[in-house]
C-alpha cells in the first residue's frame, strides 16, 4: 500500500519507528518529514500528507503529533480527506469501517508505541463497511463540494 507519513517534532520518534515497521512490511512509504526533533509547525506536515491522499498519490496517510488533534484538524481542511484522531485500535478500526477515514492521526504523548503500531495495522487492514455508512460519508462529501 502507498502510505504518506509525517510528524511534527513531538511525533518524530514515533514516526521513525512506524516508518521502519511499514517499510519492513512491504508498504511503499513516502516520509514527508519532519526529519528531526527540532521544533516545527504541525500544519505544514498535515497539509503535505493530506494533499498526497487527496490527489491519489497515497492510498492512506498517517500523521503523528503530541495529541493527534492538531494534525487531524489541519488535514481535514484538505478536500477529500477524512482524518481521524484515534486513541486506540478500536477507534482506528471504526474510523475506517464507519467513516472511510483515509488519514489516521496519532498522539505520541498519549499512545504507547505498541498500541500505535496496532492502530496503524488495524487502520490499514480495515475496509470501509459501506451500506448505511456510505450514505453518511456521501453527505460529508456533498457538503464539502458546496463549501
Q: Which residues contact 50 (CB under 8 A, 6 or more apart)?
A: 61, 74, 75, 76, 77, 78, 81, 83, 103
Q: Is 98 labeled as catalytic in the residue annotation?
A: yes
Residue 129 pLDDT exceeds 90: yes
* pLDDT computed for residue 147 by the predictor: 72
Cα of first residue to Cα of last residue in the chain, in angstroms, is 31
Q: Is 65 labeled as catalytic in the residue annotation?
A: yes
Q: Which of 9, 98, 109, 133 is catalytic?
A: 98
- Each residue of 89-125: pLDDT tens digit? 999 999 999 999 999 999 999 999 999 999 999 999 9
- Which residue ranges form the domains of the chain, and what is each CATH number? 2-146 (3.40.1400.10)
**Nearest C-alpha neighbor of 27 from the set 70, 61, 76:** 61
Read off the pTM: 0.96
Mean pLDDT, range 127-142, rounded to an integer = 92
Quick one: what percent of the chain has pLDDT higher than 90?
95
Q: Which of 9, 27, 40, 65 is catalytic?
A: 65
* pLDDT band at residue 72 under the 50/70/90 scheme: very high
Instruction: Tell me the C-alpha distance between 57 and 3, whole Å.
Output: 9
* pLDDT computed for residue 112 by the predictor: 97
Residue 48 pLDDT exceeds 80: yes
CA dihedral (84, 87, 88, 90) positive or negative: negative
Instruction: Tell me the C-alpha distance between 48 and 50, whole Å.
Output: 6
* pLDDT band at residue 143 under the 50/70/90 scheme: confident
Amino acid at each position: 500500500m502507498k502510505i504518506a507519513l509525517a510528524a511534527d517534532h513531538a511525533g518524530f520518534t514515533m514516526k521513525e519507528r512506524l516508518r521502519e515497521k511499514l517499510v519492513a512490511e512491504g508498504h511503499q512509504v513516502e516520509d514527508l518529514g519532519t526529519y528531526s526533533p527540532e521544533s516545527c509547525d504541525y500544519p505544514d506536515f498535515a497539509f503535505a500528507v493530506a494533499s498526497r491522499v487527496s490527489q491519489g498519490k497515497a492510498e492512506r496517510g498517517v500523521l503523528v503529533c503530541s495529541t493527534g488533534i492538531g494534525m487531524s484538524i489541519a488535514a481535514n481542511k484538505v478536500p477529500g480527506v477524512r482524518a481521524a484522531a484515534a486513541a486506540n485500535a478500536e477507534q482506528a478500526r471504526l474510523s475506517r469501517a464507519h467513516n472511510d477515514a483515509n488519514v489516521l492521526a496519532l498522539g505520541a504523548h498519549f499512545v504507547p508505541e505498541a498500541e500505535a503500531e496496532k492502530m496503524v495495522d488495524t487502520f490499514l487492514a480495515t475496509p470501509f463497511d459501506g451500506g448505511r455508512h456510505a450514505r453518511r460519508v456521501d453527505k460529508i462529501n456533498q457538503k464539502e463540494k458546496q463549501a
